[in-house]
Structure 1
Amino acid sequence: MRLLALQAQNFRNLHQVSLAPSPHATIAVGQNGQGKTNLLEALYFLATLKPLRAGRLAELVRWGTKAARVSGRFLLKGAEREISVEVGGGVRQAFVDGKKASSLEEYFGGVSVVAFTPDDLEVVKGGPDARRTFLDRAVFNRFPAFLKESRDYARALKNRNRLLRDGPAADPAYLDAYDATLARSGARVYVRRRALMAELAPRAQATFAAIGRTVDPAVYGYHPAHLAQEFADVDEARLAEALLEALAGRRRRDLERGFTSVGPHVDDVALTLGGRSARAYASQGQQRALVLGWKIAEIENLQASLGFLPLLLLDDVSSELDPERNAYLMGYLAASGAQVFLTTTDASLVRAAAAADTLWMDVHGGQVAPRPPEPSAGGQAPLPGQQPPAPVPVGHLLRGDVAEEGEAELRPENPVGHGEEERADHRPHRGAQEEGTGGAHEQHHPHAQGGFAPAPGLAEGQPHGDEGDGEEESGQPER
């Protein structure tokens, strides 16, 4: 899989951007608040239909405009296809080759992306909700159907919580119906998470052993909260029965408190080091090594399961890693052959991931412009059996024009491998103000009609925690 072209219009603080990425590394350099992260988020949103950072859909639209649009042209299994997404009036609309997408499966069509942000490095010492989000992003990458499945659960949870707030006046028949729906959809979430962890954990543990600087073994685990250990390996039907029993057993308490206290929305990922909680006992460097091990394992697991490497998005991660671990990450990226998008405030931190065909960009005030390549950028190590990429003269590497309205078209003059079939082997949040989210007028885009609106993600099992990203969910089930 390879991204051949990306366009973004009025996405957060970006004006109009058009670029043809390098088949290997594309690097955006700029100070904080200029739009580097927004560029990565545009690509992430295109590939997943979910914002990379928390917020409502309206926050994705540049202030003073009515709608945002992102499109990308991909090479997938030797064929080109274009997907695009528009946001206006709090609604997202998705298209494939210019036509309204009929389903999530048609839209995604094999597109896969892994993002790595400074927020991820705080996951170990953060709260359970951060780790659930971290886990569920990986589950979605591995199982795209999880987007709909998690939405089904979130909808059922939201409806049950709404009824629980009625307290003793809540209709028991409605609660029975919600419990059954919640148990079925919750069991599916459990099964997806469990399957992902079975694949991912051994790889992550092996990577941590190489970079953790400790003899203590790392363990990445997941088990449904409030369910006995005996349910760790049972089938989906039995899990649904167990969750239904747990919901019934906690109904009185849930009615008193006004929210659902059991289910996958309250689970946690167990990260231990030497048998002790990594959150409590691991050093900051070890905690970040745990996350780095996870991300590298996620990339390798997707390559093994899908047969190709996902797109990799790294948002200023190098500035948060110590030199040794950053060198490990940059070396891994250079040797992997993956198509990588990196942002940084300091170009020297990512030189080792660059190659002769790297596309360098400057980002300032929501506008993107060509940047001369770093003179000491290292070469990209070829994979076994491959030839190094043909050198591209520095004077011909970049080509771009910036219009008055801020449109930039960037592309390698003759990108290595362009048009060829891709290889088979191939912050807590920093805050939206750092990258200029710019609110939006919530008016409907004239071309944004039909389509579908995917899930906001799993809701929290606490008061007001069952809200999504501004989309309306369905009402109560039939009796």
Structure 2
Amino acid sequence: MRLKQLNLENFRNYPQLNLEFNHGLTILTGENAQGKTNLLEAIFLLSLAKSHRSNHDNEMIRWHENSARVTGLVETEHFEFPLELILTNKGKKAKYNHLEQAKLSHFIGKLNVILFAPEDMQLIKGSPAFRRKFLDSELGQSHPVYLNELLEYNRILKQRNTYLKQYSHSNQFDNVYFSILTQQLIDRAVSIVRYRSNFVTSLNQLAQPIHQALSNERDQLGMMYLASSSHLDYQVDEAELKSQFQALFECSFIREKDQATTLYGPHRDDLGLYINDKKAVDFASQGQQRTTVLSLKLAEIELMKELKGEYPILLLDDVLSELDDARQHLLMSYIEKKVQTFLTTATIQGLKLHQLSDADIFYVENANVYKGESLNG
């Protein structure tokens, strides 16, 4: 899978921009706050119909403008097609192959990307919410049905929490209505955790040998999808898991009313990462943390290839500054001639990449982008 063209109108600090890309490495370089990451954000937007930096779409619309447009031309092994996303203060409009999509879930995943940014180091030390977002982003691209299940779960969860807040200590509390909400929540919860659990199992199988190679056989990586309660076993069949959720919610009914919130479910699950059978969050060194995240990202690339039949596009947002020379070399060697890659960096000085001789280099300055000469190795 390749992105051949990217066109922006009133997106972030770009009033108008048209770029064409090669099939290999593209380097976007320039000082900070000039618009390099905005270009990666636009590519990410064409994949997941949302930003990786903000939850507010209007922040992507150029100041004093009413709308923004991002379009791209995507090439796959068998055909090419345009993607278009229009942002307004009233919502989003998505088009695939010139046809407007009734649901964003029909648009998401037509372009597959893997993003590797400095904040991904939070996969180790960050909150469970960060790791859940990681799982949701990857599953959303590869399994459109998952997105629908997640949206429905979040809608029902919000409805259930609102009811708990409003009526938990009131005589108007309707146990029958609350039971219906709970059953609807359980149905979606079971679907979500099975998707996530299977995804983590597959990712773990791919990441383990990669991590062993990156660590020179010193460290063993493990990962596990962790339930929000020890009373839940995600390895059982669907009917048994529903029964476990039902029993858990019945036991926690009083506590949920007292705390006025839903205490268990996928919204409180986590991804456990382990180095040599020890929790990475507690015992991993800085180097081990970087190797772990790098292993996850390389495994994501391979898993996306298995699931979708083609390699995704890789977005590296100033991430080489987080890696030493050895890990930089391993990363770039692993993806060479397989994955179209976009890399942002403040300067190309000091980059020790043999791919520089074949890379396209774009200089970004105050929303102006111009192509420079390719470097000799």
Query: TM (normalized to structure 1)?
Result: 0.74
Report the equivalent of 1:135. Answer: 135
Tell me how far 1:247 sits from its aligned partner: 2.1
| Structure with greater contact order relative to length (CA < 8 Å, sep ≥ 6) | 1
Count of aligned positions: 374
Task: Tell me if 1:193 matches 2:202.
Answer: no
Report the equivalent of 1:224. Answer: 227
Deviations 1:318-352 (A, max 9, x none): 01112211111122222x42111111112145562
CA distance in 2, matches of 1:92, 1:105: 12
User: Given that residues 82 and 97 in structure 2 are in contact (C-alpha distance below 8 angstroms), is that contact kept between their aligned partners in structure 1?
Assistant: yes
Residue 181 (structure 2) aligned to one of 178, 181, 190: 178
Tell me how far 1:34 sits from its aligned partner: 1.4
User: Given that residues 14 and 62 in structure 2 are in contact (C-alpha distance below 8 angstroms), is that contact kept between their aligned partners in structure 1?
Assistant: yes
User: Given that residues 37 and 344 in structure 2 are in contact (C-alpha distance below 8 angstroms), is that contact kept between their aligned partners in structure 1?
Assistant: yes
User: Given that residues 14 and 39 in structure 1 are in contact (C-alpha distance below 8 angstroms), is that contact kept between their aligned partners in structure 2?
Assistant: no
User: Given that residues 15 and 367 in structure 1 are in contact (C-alpha distance below 8 angstroms), is that contact kept between their aligned partners in structure 2?
Assistant: no
CA distance in 2, matches of 1:213, 1:176: 53
Tell me how far 1:272 sits from its aligned partner: 1.1
Instruction: Go from structure 1 to structure 2 and tell me whether the alpha carbon gap of 1:332 and 1:307 turns closer, same or farther (over 3 Å shift).
Output: same
Report the equivalent of 2:31. Answer: 31
Report the equivalent of 2:251. Answer: 249
User: Given that residues 312 and 340 in structure 1 are in contact (C-alpha distance below 8 angstroms), is that contact kept between their aligned partners in structure 2?
Assistant: yes
1:283-432 maps to which residues of 2 (within 5 A)? 283-334=285-336, 336-348=337-349, 350=351, 352=353, 354=355, 357-376=358-377
User: Given that residues 203 and 299 in structure 2 are in contact (C-alpha distance below 8 angstroms), is that contact kept between their aligned partners in structure 1?
Assistant: yes
Residue 215 (structure 2) aligned to one of 206, 212, 215: 212
Tell me how far 1:63 sits from its aligned partner: 1.4
Tell me how far 1:17 sits from its aligned partner: 1.6
CA distance in 2, matches of 1:162, 1:349: 54
SS at match of 1:168: coil
SS at match of 1:114: strand
CA distance in 2, matches of 1:225, 1:372: 53
User: Given that residues 13 and 62 in structure 1 are in contact (C-alpha distance below 8 angstroms), is that contact kept between their aligned partners in structure 2?
Assistant: yes
Q: Which amino acid aligns with 2:320?
A: S
Q: Which amino acid aligns with 2:185?
A: L
SS at match of 1:279: helix
CA distance in 1, matches of 2:108, 2:264: 32
Identity of aligned residues (%): 32
Q: Which amino acid aligns with 1:9?
A: E
SS at match of 1:83: strand
CA-based RMSD: 1.9
SS at match of 1:63: coil
CA distance in 1, matches of 2:28, 2:260: 46
Tell me how far 1:353 sits from its aligned partner: 6.2
Instruction: Go from structure 1 to structure 2 and tell me whether the alpha carbon gap of 1:126 and 1:214 turns closer, same or farther (over 3 Å shift).
Output: farther
Q: Which amino acid aligns with 2:193?
A: Y
User: Given that residues 115 and 312 in structure 1 are in contact (C-alpha distance below 8 angstroms), is that contact kept between their aligned partners in structure 2?
Assistant: yes
User: Given that residues 36 and 364 in structure 2 are in contact (C-alpha distance below 8 angstroms), is that contact kept between their aligned partners in structure 1?
Assistant: yes
Tell me how far 1:366 sits from its aligned partner: 2.4
Tell me how far 1:158 sits from its aligned partner: 0.9
CA distance in 2, matches of 1:90, 1:296: 37
Tell me how far 1:312 sits from its aligned partner: 0.9
Task: Tell me if 1:274 matches 2:276.
Answer: yes
Deviations 1:361-395 (A, max 9, x none): 1112223222232333xxxxxxxxxxxxxxxxxxx
Instruction: Go from structure 1 to structure 2 and tell me whether the alpha carbon gap of 1:216 and 1:26 turns closer, same or farther (over 3 Å shift).
Output: closer
Q: Which amino acid aligns with 2:325?
A: P
Q: Which amino acid aligns with 2:249?
A: L
Deviations 1:43-102 (A, max 9, x none): 101111121123211111111111111111112342221111111114111112333113
SS at match of 1:262: coil
CA distance in 1, matches of 2:227, 2:216: 31
Q: Which amino acid aligns with 1:47?
A: S
CA distance in 2, matches of 1:349, 1:92: 41
Tell me how far 1:109 sits from its aligned partner: 6.5
SS at match of 1:337: coil
CA distance in 1, matches of 2:112, 2:354: 21
CA distance in 2, matches of 1:258, 1:349: 55
Instruction: Go from structure 1 to structure 2 and tell me whether the alpha carbon gap of 1:288 and 1:173 turns closer, same or farther (over 3 Å shift).
Output: same
Q: Which amino acid aligns with 2:189?
A: G
Instruction: Go from structure 1 to structure 2 and tell me whether the alpha carbon gap of 1:330 and 1:180 turns closer, same or farther (over 3 Å shift).
Output: same
Report the equivalent of 1:163. Answer: 163
CA distance in 2, matches of 1:106, 1:156: 22
SS at match of 1:115: strand
Q: Which moved more, 1:154-163 or 1:300-309?
A: 300-309
Gaps of 5+ in 2: none
CA distance in 2, matches of 1:95, 1:117: 28
Gaps of 5+ in 1: 377-479
CA distance in 2, matches of 1:317, 1:153: 34
Deviations 1:408-433 (A, max 9, x none): xxxxxxxxxxxxxxxxxxxxxxxxxx
